Amino acid sequence: MAASRRTRVRLWRWRRSPLRRRSDVIEAWIVLAGWLFALVGALIAGQATAAAVERAAEQQRAHGREVSAVLVEDAKDRVSERVPTDYRVSAKVRWTAPDGTTHTDKARVPAKTRAGSTVTVWTDRNDNITTKPLSAAETRLHAISGGVLAAMGAGGATLGAAWVVRLQLDRRRMAQWAEEWERIDTRWGWKTG
């Protein structure tokens, strides 16, 4: 028994054919527009997100200031022997701002540090404790990962919207076919289904 050969017709929705319907052409345009908008939207969203992350990191670097603070209380925590050496706990520290005022707040300090020890903390322009600014490598990693996630989200949302429009178009096409079959059945005087 010979294997049946089936030829694949590429771009069939774009070719002239007596069987091609208007909805086929509309569906082809929806698919094309969906892919184009998904690609362009993903690129724009990814680049915008990466730029926003880099701007935020630059702003944090510009407004952050490293200050020396004195530990007011012991940094106690039940630390097992297997934690990393840079393990930090929350403890109360005191520091003097550039304007001469003294501030006290909780900060993340190395575990098991005694009261009276000098530690380094980061403050913002309002002299509130903040995190250490991201390094250039960390900023790059955050920008890339944020950009990729935003691009995937924008592209996925666009393709999802195109898919929903195609589903609606298919429903409409099925309703039209059912209507045409009903019209043909009644003309011939008998029912096919």
Residue 105 sits in the same domain as residue 90: yes
Residue 119 sits in the same domain as residue 75: yes
Q: In terms of Cα–Cα distance, which of 158, 176, 70 is closest to 117?
A: 70
Which tokens is 33 given? Answer: 């527009």
Q: In terms of Cα–Cα distance, which of 191, 153, 150, 168 is closest to 48?
A: 150
Residue 52 sits in the same domain as residue 97: no
**pLDDT score recorded for residue 38:** 96
Q: Report the number of distinct structural domains present in the chain.
A: 2
Residue 81 sits in the same domain as residue 110: yes
**pLDDT score recorded for residue 123:** 86
CA–CA separation, 148 vs 145, rounded Å? 5
Tens digit of each residue's pLDDT (9 = 90 or more) over 45-94:
999 999 999 999 998 888 888 888 888 787 776 555 555 556 777 788 88
75 in a structural domain = yes
Residue 74 sits in the same domain as residue 89: yes
11 in a structural domain = no
Q: What is the edge-to-edge ordering of all strands in the sheet holding 102-110?
A: 102-110, 88-96, 65-71, 118-123, 129-130
Domain, as residue range, for 35: 22-59+138-188
**pLDDT score recorded for residue 114:** 83
Residue 29 sits in the same domain as residue 82: no
**pLDDT score recorded for residue 190:** 62
Residue 128 sits in the same domain as residue 163: no
7 in a structural domain = no
**pLDDT score recorded for residue 186:** 67
**pLDDT score recorded for residue 78:** 59
CA–CA separation, 31 vs 7, rounded Å? 22
Domain end position, chosen among 101, 132, 163: 132
The low-confidence residues of the chain, meaning pLDDT below 70, are 1-4, 6-15, 77-86, 186-193
**pLDDT score recorded for residue 13:** 58
Domain end position, chosen among 85, 117, 132: 132
